[in-house]
Amino acid sequence: MGFRTLQISRGVVSVDSVSTAYDALVERNNQHADREYLRILHLAATTMESEIEIALELLLSENQLNDADQVKALVVPTKPEIPALEIPTVDLSGYDELFSERNELLPSAPPVR
């Protein structure tokens, strides 16, 4: 019987999408349907439920729902690759020249007695 008798709480995902997804999983993968169904519900609880619903509808409309990994691939973004950046050498000699020019332009202070 499995999850056929489970009462789905409102707000997780659409009841129609979930029950249709469970039926499709049972039809295609009878041995692991309960586990895959739980994985889809976990995805819905830990990500954007609306995205899970859209992914389920897309996979179901194409008759392609076989496991939770397919849903996950559609809704969980891949981690972006961080490019290697080269840190340039900074030349501060121009800044030093400004100080030396400033010191040349200022009158020298009288000695302190």
What pTM was computed for the model? 0.58
Q: Over the stretch 74-100, which tens digit does the pLDDT of each residue have?
A: 998 778 888 999 999 988 888 888 777
Q: Could you give the CA distance from residue 7 to residue 13 in angstroms, rounded to a whole number?
A: 13
Q: Could you give the CA distance from residue 59 to residue 75 in angstroms, rounded to a whole number?
A: 12
pLDDT for the residue numbered 96: 80
Of the candidates 110, 50, 103, the one whose C-alpha atom is nearest the C-alpha of residue 74 is: 50
For residue 108, the Cα-to-chain-centroid distance in whole angstroms is 63
Delimit the domains of the chain by residue range. Answer: 11-75
| pLDDT at residue 7 greater than cutoff 50 | no
